[in-house]
Amino acid sequence: MENTWNIRSREDIVKGNTGEKMIYTNFVGTRGGENRCLFSDAIMNPAAKNGGLWAPDVIPLFHEQLIEEMLTLSYKDLAFKILREFGIDLKDEVIQEAVSVYDSFDDTQNPVPVVGLTNDLSVSELWHGPTRAFKDMALQPFPKLVSVLAQDEANKYLVLAATSGDTGPAALAGFRDLPNTKVVCLYPDGGTSDVQKQQMVKESGENLKVIGVKGNFDDTQKALKEMIKSDSFNEAVKNAGYKLSAANSVNFGRIIFQIVYHFWSYFELVGKGKIDFGDEITVVIPSGNFGNGLAAFYAKLLGLPIGKIVLASNKNNVLTKFIKDGEYSVNRDFENTNSPAMDIRRPSNPERILFHMFGSDRTTELMENLENEGVFQLTKKEMDSIQEVFDADYASEEEIVLMIRDVSNDYSYTIDPHTATAFVSYRKLKIKGPCIISSTAEWTKFSETMSEAYGCDSTLEAIAEKVGTDIPKPITDLADKKVIHTDVIEIDEIEEYILNSI
């Protein structure tokens, strides 16, 4: 089936160091309109007009020789190369400063280890940063860009973040004490793991504020989106001396850094002799807000040999229904599960997929149906297009616990509950050929589920002894930190509270 993806040849992007004029990628609103901007504007002002999201107007297709040249680059150099070839309007030194944060990861030479479990099955460990979750891959470098651009503008930015468990700690750690920024992080009270909550409420930094919300993640994310779009709230923030931005994956500045680790993981398989360069692979990704899966989609369009992108969900399986049946519905109960970072009923990023595949007019129609009726339905032809690229499945809480145990028994390997959903989908769908599972968080953040799976006490020390591993310092250090942020408020108090806090 012919796709409508708007892809251009890499030759349309001229290298900046050749002395020729750089042609930058433009970003447009997913719901149409005349508005367009460059990358720097899109990340500082993440709300496109008409309620949409910013997305690249065309995708710069990397030719095979360029991708092959990337094989031997370090992670930092690979990140720099991809951002530069993507056509973003930032100076080389700004990008280099941003990607230097990977030096703080567990292994400066290999911030994303790829572990082979069988000849065909490998795991990409995306959690070796300071908060032990894949969100560090983007939320360590991204804040550097925001701070530099804010300083260049001589403006201060209020950066909002809503979290289901991992974005919050990563955003707070990334933005801590960066000039010209103030971060307000909203988390659903009782809707994260204990370690995730401790990482947030104990996070220091003069520019950070953490607020518990009486509601679920959908409530907090909805509040964030409404504030970003609200003229009155933006005006009030302006009157307080700030401009408004966001750290969630509605911001493309998050997505672009996530593209990098899909390239890196593929190259690791080539380097280990698991595949030949040019072989297609399947990627299986635990999916909540769909930012990781979207990044794989962009990597595929850029030219990386990815076949199917498999989205793995928990009982909040909106994405599974979207991929399998073409139905996207929020008219359903919200489930609190043992994989809390994926407890999301209304993921943001499918809108970008709709835009690239079906255009802004159809995207607007579908999103208006979602907003007015709580549901939209794709046509059979549209479903076929989606299913050319994506597949999906989901795991029950019982299946998650059993899979953690099975992976330990079968491979002598330890996974967290979110990564377990990907293993469940891998087995249910009987995936054949070379495959990479994205491991999105370290087990240390989910002690109750891990203790259930291993049949031991729920202390991290007991679990670590059971699985034969160490507890990393960023987690053990939490015990010695004091709680700084204690406020928990109602949903309808958020706007007033934030304005009072700045």
pLDDT in the model for residue 34: 75
Q: Is residue 149 assigned to a domain?
A: no
Q: What residue ranges in 319-368 does DSSP mark as E strands?
A: 327-329
Q: Provide the greatest CA pair distance for the chain.
A: 63
CB 161 within 8 A of CB 184: yes
In this structure, are strands 281-286 and 435-439 parallel, antiparallel, or unpaired?
A: parallel
Cα–Cα distance for residue pair 171/203, rounded to 1 Å:
11
Judged by DSSP in three states, 457 sits in coil
Region of residue 288 (phi > 0: left; psi between -120 and 50: alpha; otherwise: beta): alpha
pLDDT in the model for residue 22: 58
Nearest CA to 241 among 166, 181, 288?
181
Residue 317 in tokens: 């399986």
Residue 67 parent element (H or E): helix 64-69
Q: Is residue 337 assigned to a domain?
A: yes
| Number of neighbouring beta carbons within 10 Å of residue 5 | 15
Domain membership of residue 410 as a residue range: 112-128+253-468
Cα–Cα distance for residue pair 243/432, rounded to 1 Å:
49
CB 444 within 8 A of CB 475: yes
CB 460 within 8 A of CB 447: yes
CB 128 within 8 A of CB 111: yes
| Number of neighbouring beta carbons within 10 Å of residue 379 | 11
In sequence order, the β-bridge partners of residue 27 are: 37, 56
Residue 392 parent element (H or E): strand 390-394
Q: Is residue 292 assigned to a domain?
A: yes
| Number of neighbouring beta carbons within 10 Å of residue 430 | 6
Q: Is residue 17 assigned to a domain?
A: no
Q: Is residue 219 assigned to a domain?
A: no
Q: Is residue 349 assigned to a domain?
A: yes
Nearest CA to 87 among 29, 4, 12?
12
In sequence order, the β-bridge partners of residue 125 are: 439
Q: Which residue has the tokens 């979110």?
A: 418
Cα–Cα distance for residue pair 226/162, rounded to 1 Å:
12
Q: Is residue 30 assigned to a domain?
A: no
Encode the chain (502 residues) as per-residue pLDDT tens digits. 334 445 443 333 333 333 344 579 999 999 998 778 999 999 999 989 888 999 999 898 899 999 999 999 999 999 999 999 999 999 999 999 999 999 999 999 999 999 999 999 999 999 999 999 999 999 999 999 999 999 999 999 999 999 988 999 999 999 999 999 999 999 999 999 999 999 999 999 999 999 999 999 988 988 998 999 899 999 999 999 999 999 998 999 999 999 999 999 999 999 999 999 999 999 999 999 999 999 999 999 999 999 999 999 999 999 999 999 999 999 988 889 999 999 999 999 999 999 999 999 999 999 999 999 999 999 999 999 999 999 999 999 999 999 999 999 999 999 999 999 999 999 999 999 999 999 999 999 999 999 999 999 999 999 999 999 999 999 999 999 999 999 999 999 999 999 998 8
Q: Is residue 16 assigned to a domain?
A: no
- Write the CB contacts of 114 (distance below 8 Å, at least 6 apart in sequence): 122, 123, 124, 125, 264, 265, 268, 269, 272, 436
Q: DSSP assignment of 124-154, as one string?
A: EE---STTSBTTHHHHTHHHHHHHHHHHHHT
Amino acid present at 446: F
Cα–Cα distance for residue pair 194/201, rounded to 1 Å:
10
Nearest CA to 392 among 430, 425, 438, 423?
425
Q: What are phi and psi of 255, to 5 degrees?
A: -65, -40
Number of structural domains (the chain) is: 1
CATH number at residue 283: 3.40.50.1100
